[in-house]
A and B are shown apart, each in its own frame.
Chain A
């Protein structure tokens, strides 16, 4: 559940503390960025003698470069564009995303990604359950439901962006695929930084954390990645089906792991409410903060903890600045 603006009631003292923390964040933020923030129809200062490329969020009107969205102006080499804050996901090839299957169509799955259109995962872009590399037959097409059905949560990578704007995904490695035993959280995509690592295995808590570039975050019980080479021909389909049905009869997630999953989930909710970037470090810090202050899991969502997290974040950024 994406939470927007702080709508929690603060007591007088909480309000003062919160505002002070936000002010400190403001003073710590780079002034370059705040000067570069624009809103719709603001003129973007460019040197017209230099050749420049117009990127997203800009348009040329009467010789002036205007912003068409609210955001921050970024300049990379000759490219001038406006980085939006609150907006749908802006995909790049190679992004790791988490999505939900909404339709099983002919030779493909449609996946909801918080993008302007649904993503498409072709059958040919998906590993066969038996791990073999072969052409997909019509039997495979009919058996698509054995792999993913509607509402399944899947993890994939952006393969390409078509000319009409639609997204092609692929899930060819064993680390991608269906996600079970956990919960899916949604945050605004601008709070997720692109980095080398989006799959996080937090060993101390026994939890898998996948931060999708599209703002969908998966928090779940750790699942060992199965090596397809180990699986032998012929037995595979039976094994797959029997193992998936046995998970249903399996015992529930152990209580301690579940508590950790809920804590991380709530930490992400709090960070999203406050508008702070969501990275593994910040999430683990927030969870540690809640543990050290003996905050009940559900109490993490109340005003007091929000104020604590804001203060902690201000402190953390100040420390970072010093270095």
Chain B
């Protein structure tokens, strides 16, 4: 099947280095301390952060550090064919991966004896769900006023029809080519998440990895814009 036509256009009309449209909004769940919705094309994820609050289960307490918990769930209607299982292996793996990524960003030593809960709810899945989750979680944590050392962002890229492609959607992802998900901390310029499936020759991997990192930088810009706008808005509404 042709994923990139001779003119260089993909199935949805994008070029190889074009990301899907991003919609990011902060403050969507009223009860949560911080929340955000992040859309990359048709992939739509809501993140809600509860905390820092009193530790619910004293046995899980970590000495001198905040406890970070993360749960990833997909709505029944999120994928084309309806999912039945709630706690399947993929959800468990993603919960763990996202928790580790966010835990690396949060300054847990500033909030001892407390617990931070991150809940991710996927409303629509169309490829790149783990990236959308990390981006949504970052926005939600910033919205909740939790101190972080950097704003983690993530993007994916793949390789089909001999072309590296940025931000794969579900159809492109299931095509059988490689899918590289990269998460970076832009200010510290460090890679915090790196996952890949299928196989790639080393040079191709480097190109795809570089493309995904470029995508991450663009997302980082967007995330910063949203937070800056939101902070300014809150401040001038509040008044003297």
Contacts and interface: CB of A to CB of B under 8 A. Distances in A.
A contacts B: CB pair < 8 Å: yes
Interface of A: 1-5, 7, 22, 25-26, 28-30, 33-34, 37-41, 57, 59, 61, 66, 68-72, 84-88, 112, 116-118, 164-166, 190-191, 274-277, 313, 317
Given A39-B231, A276-B238, A164 B30 contact: no
B107 interface: yes
Interface string B32-64: 011100000000000000011110000000000
A75 B188 CA distance: 26
A112 B56 CA distance: 13
Interface residues of B, number: 47
Given A87-B144, A117-B114, A41 B151 contact: yes
Given A275-B234, A276-B238, 13 more contacts: A4-B29, A5-B27, A7-B30, A26-B236, A40-B150, A61-B149, A68-B149, A70-B142, A85-B238, A87-B145, A117-B54, A165-B112, A166-B113
Contacts of A30: 240
B27 A37 contact: no
A72 B30 contact: no
B107 to A, nearest CB: 6
B113 A86 contact: no
Contacts of B235: 29, 33-34, 37, 72, 85
A2 B34 CA distance: 12
Contact of B146 (A2, A22, A26, A69): A69
12 contacts: A2-B31, A5-B25, A25-B236, A37-B235, A59-B147, A59-B149, A70-B227, A84-B145, A85-B234, A86-B27, A165-B112, A165-B113
Contact of A33 (B30, B145, B187, B236): B236
B147 to A, nearest CB: 4
Closest 9 CB pairs of A and B: A87-B145, A29-B236, A275-B237, A68-B147, A116-B52, A5-B27, A41-B187, A116-B114, A4-B27
Interface string B118-150: 000000000000000000000000111111111
Nearest to A3: B30
A70 B230 contact: yes
Given A25-B236, A275-B234, A276-B238, A118 B54 contact: yes
B30 A4 contact: yes
B227 A39 contact: yes
Interface of B: 25-31, 33-35, 51-54, 107, 110-114, 142-151, 186-188, 224, 227-228, 230-240
A84 B197 CA distance: 41
A33 B238 CA distance: 11
A87 B111 CA distance: 13
Given A34-B236, A40-B150, A116-B52, A88 B145 contact: yes
Could you say which of A1, A30, A41 has the most chain B C-beta atoms within 10 Å of its C-beta?
A: A41
B158 to A, nearest CB: 29
A68 B231 CA distance: 14
A124 to B, nearest CB: 22
Nearest to A6: B27
Contacts of A166: 113
Contacts of A3: 30
Nearest to B234: A85
A69 B147 contact: yes
Contacts of B143: 70, 86
Contacts of B231: 37-39, 70-72, 85
Contacts of A39: 142, 151, 224, 227-228, 231
A57 B30 contact: no
Contacts of B144: 86-87
Contact of B147 (A7, A57, A85, A117): A57
Given A70-B231, A165-B112, A274 B151 contact: no
Contacts of A70: 142-143, 145, 227, 230-231
Contacts of B110: 68
